[in-house]
Each structure stands twice: as structure tokens, then as C-alpha cells.
Amino acid sequence: MSLAILVPHLYLLRPTCCAVAVAKRTSFNAAQNPVALLQLCVDRRCLIFQLLHADYVPGSLRRFLGNPRDSFVGVGVDKDAERLSDDLGPPVANTADLSPLAAQRMDRPDLRQAGLQAVVRAVMGVDLVTQRGGE
């Protein structure tokens, strides 16, 4: 599915809860580590946008990320949103980090600073396997 079709579709859903994650380009110089990949998931639909290879970021994507009626969730999502804002300009409007939420709901203070794998293991009871293999 092309970006031109998916992003307007996501943007029209009101309000949307969207999982967001980013990956940075690896470099020896920390100042040269821009966001290379943006992953957005709503229900079972996901968009993986390779910012590293894009000539531009569509206005519809910028508006979607900046819409305060939409929620962007994830583990460490505030850092991801800050990286996106630094690289793309406008801030991500409404974020919710799942680690503190899981810690509160499950009465497990150890999850407050946990990574994605630990949160998935605690909440869903499964081991999440990632390509990087780390938290």
C-alpha cells in the first residue's frame, strides 16, 4: 500500500491510537544520527516510512503526527517523539509511554523504566524477538 493512500486513511480516523517507533541511522558521530525509519501501527495496519531514503516528508504525515486528538504510544515514545521533532520540525502532539502505564496497572514498579521486551513479557507473557536482539 502506498504512503499516499495509507497516511490520509490514518489521518481521517478520529481519534486514533497509533503505536510509534523510530530507528536512527548508525554513525560514529552522534550529531549525524538522524531518524532513518518511522514505524506507525494502527490496529493491524502498519506503515514503515524510510526517512533516510525519502526526498521529503508528506504534509499529511506531519499533520497526523502533530494532531493533538491522536495518541502516539510506545515504550520510550517520548524520546522517539523528540528525535522526530528534531529531524522533521513540528512536535509529535500527544504521546503516552507504555512502561509507566504497565507499572501502574500491574502494580510493578520495576516496569517503570523497562524496555519493550520486558513490558511485552510482563503484559502479554511472551518473549518478543527483535532483529537487534536487545531491549
Q: What residues make up the domain containing 18?
A: 3-97
Predicted pLDDT at 97 = 93
Q: Is residue 116 part of a domain?
A: no
Q: What CATH number is associated with residue 65? A: 3.30.420.10
Q: Is residue 107 part of a domain?
A: no
Domain count, the chain: 1
Q: Within a 13 Å sphere around the CA of 67, how many CA atoms are in the beta-carbon half?
A: 20
Predicted pLDDT at 29 = 63
Q: Is residue 23 part of a domain?
A: yes
Predicted pLDDT at 132 = 57
Q: Is residue 123 part of a domain?
A: no
Predicted pLDDT at 134 = 44
Q: Is residue 75 part of a domain?
A: yes
Predicted pLDDT at 3 = 47
CA nearest neighbour of 74 among 46, 32, 33: 46
Q: Is residue 22 part of a domain?
A: yes
Print pLDDT tens along the chain (135 aa). 444 444 555 555 556 889 988 888 776 565 667 888 999 998 888 999 999 889 988 988 988 899 888 899 999 999 999 989 988 878 898 999 999 999 999 999 999 999 989 999 999 999 988 765 444
Q: Is residue 134 part of a domain?
A: no
Q: Letter for the amino acid at 19?
A: A
Query: Phi first, then psi: what are they for 59, rounded to 5°?
Result: -60, -35
SS (H, E, C) the chain: CCHHHHHHHHHHCCCCEEEEEEEECCCCCHHHCCEEEEEEEECCEEEEEEHHHCCCCCHHHHHHHHCCCCEEEECCHHHHHHHHHHHHCCCCCCEEEHHHHHHHHCCCHHHCCCCHHHHHHHHHCCCCCCCCCCC
Q: Is residue 56 part of a domain?
A: yes
